Amino acid sequence: MGFNIYDFTGMTHNMHVSFMEHMSPLMTTIVEWTIIGVCYLLFIALFGLFLVYAERKVCAMFQQRMGPMRVGYWGLLQTIADFIKLLMKELITPKGVDKFLYNLAPFIIMIATFMAMAVLPFAKGLQTLDFDIGVFYVTAVSSIGVIGILIAGWSSNNKYSLIGAMRSGAQILSYELSVSLSLVTMIILAGSMQLSVIVEGQRDAWFIFKGHVPALIAFVIFLIAGTAETNRGPFDLAEAESELTAGFHTEYSGIKFAFFFLAEYINMFIVAAMAVTVFLGGWMPLHFGSLESFNHVMDFIPPLVWFFLKVGGVIFLIMWFKWTFPRLRVDQILTLEWKYLLPINLVNILLMSLVVLTKFHL
């Protein structure tokens, strides 16, 4: 198997062993945590910036523009320049805000994002926490973010922010259901909630192929609901530029605004990564049952590349939605969830159970 050279399990295990040789167990834990923390921080900062750049370029391409072209080659350093600008901006605290909550909100959103990142399997062995309830954990943690949005909207002492926050609350509460149910559909197929097991289960074929029509429906619903959960267009009611100026983060400036901004993009990454892990085989290469030589060629591409390629594809799809569709109204967004996505989802679970019971998926 040409697969093992890309297995990170040995590497991480060896690192752990060598740390244990030189340090006390407590020290080892602290050092390992620090390394992981720094890695995540760097990843979020750099990948977030890259996503912002990608979004600007992609939207420019949709709109027959060129996008950022000035800073660096094809504007590659543009977002870094923007980030430096945001870092240096004055942190304005408006009159009448609840100072404690106002300052807390960006951190809650950031922390929620970090927590969800913890279980994502980037490649074999490259996963910080491998819970046996990984899927459940992600859905639970990703709904913490809305608390941050609500706090931000309420504490800003701004009517626009409050409306935005309340919209966001209603929206995420409803769409959490669809996300969970579409994941439940896939859990029925996978037979486990542990993300590494789910990925391993897709070694021969991705779940979206294995699960036939129900998996496809679940994927579409997951994409829609996931987009809604990240507050991105066409579901960006909480921000709704033309209605509420900037919604819940109207009053934030400088690095606090950057937190919200970055969290939005990282949330988009998390949704895409979950979609990839559960539906598109995670870091597994694309395999077709009988094409041996094709499968071998695919195996030579490292799993990290596979993972990020798929994530990139899903993110592109989400961006495509945003730059094509108008925004929904707040009652329509709830109609879509309760009248369309939820019933379809429930029927879909039934269908999937039938598929699994009849062993049709094998």
As measured in angstroms, the least distance from the Cβ of 279 to other proteins is 18
Is residue 327 close enough to count as binding other proteins by CB under 8 A?
Answer: yes
Answer for the pair 69, 215: CB distance below 8 angstroms, yes or no. no
What is the CB neighbour count within 10 angstroms for residue 184?
18
Residues 166-195 that bind other proteins (CB under 8 A): 167
Residues 129-168 that bind other proteins (CB under 8 A): 159-160, 163, 167
Binding residue for other proteins (CB under 8 A) from 243, 298, 312, 334?
Answer: 243
As measured in angstroms, the least distance from the Cβ of 298 to other proteins is 25
271 secondary structure, DSSP code: H
Chain centroid offset of residue 193 CA: 18
As measured in angstroms, the least distance from the Cβ of 339 to other proteins is 9
Answer for the pair 224, 333: CB distance below 8 angstroms, yes or no. no
What is the CB neighbour count within 10 angstroms for residue 275?
24
Q: Segment contacting other proteins (CB under 8 A): 124-132, 189-197, 306-314, 323-331?
A: 323-331
Helix (H) or strand (E) segment spanning residue 327: none
What is the CB neighbour count within 10 angstroms for residue 79?
21
Phi/psi at 286 (5° precision): -75, 120
Helix (H) or strand (E) segment spanning residue 68: none
SS3 202: coil
Is residue 62 close enough to count as binding other proteins by CB under 8 A?
Answer: yes
Closest to 253 (Cα-Cα) out of 157, 162, 160, 156: 156
Binding residue for other proteins (CB under 8 A) from 17, 27, 46, 61?
Answer: 61
Binding residue for other proteins (CB under 8 A) from 324, 338, 346, 360?
Answer: 324
Query: What is the contact mask toward other proteins in residues 333 to 352, using x (rule: CB under 8 A)?
Result: -------x---x--------
Q: For the purposes of burial, counting CB atoms within 10 Å of the CB of 216, is it exposed (0-12), middle (13-18) or buried (19 or more)?
A: middle
Greatest CA separation for the chain: 67
Binding residue for other proteins (CB under 8 A) from 325, 338, 346, 350?
Answer: 325
Binding residue for other proteins (CB under 8 A) from 9, 14, 18, 63?
Answer: 63
Is residue 292 close enough to count as binding other proteins by CB under 8 A?
Answer: no
Size of the site for other proteins (CB under 8 A): 37
Binding residue for other proteins (CB under 8 A) from 3, 288, 294, 320?
Answer: 320
As measured in angstroms, the least distance from the Cβ of 19 to other proteins is 47
Closest to 227 (Cα-Cα) out of 326, 301, 317, 340: 317
Q: Segment contacting other proteins (CB under 8 A): 48-56, 77-85, 144-152, 317-325?
A: 317-325
Is residue 94 close enough to count as binding other proteins by CB under 8 A?
Answer: no
Residue 277 and residue 199: Cα distance in Å, rounded?
6
Is residue 318 close enough to count as binding other proteins by CB under 8 A?
Answer: no
Answer for the pair 207, 186: CB distance below 8 angstroms, yes or no. yes
Binding residue for other proteins (CB under 8 A) from 24, 25, 26, 64?
Answer: 64
Is residue 100 close enough to count as binding other proteins by CB under 8 A?
Answer: no
Chain centroid offset of residue 120 CA: 9
Specify the residue, 166 or 199, whose C-beta has the smaller distance to other proteins.
Answer: 166
Residue 254 and residue 87: Cα distance in Å, rounded?
6
What is the CB neighbour count within 10 angstroms for residue 177?
16
Binding residue for other proteins (CB under 8 A) from 245, 253, 295, 353?
Answer: 245
Q: Segment contacting other proteins (CB under 8 A): 30-38, 103-111, 182-190, 236-244?
A: 236-244
Specify the residue, 16 or 329, whose C-beta has the smaller distance to other proteins.
Answer: 329
| Site residues, other proteins (CB under 8 A) | 58-59, 61-66, 69, 159-160, 163, 167, 233-234, 236-237, 240-245, 320-321, 323-332, 340, 344
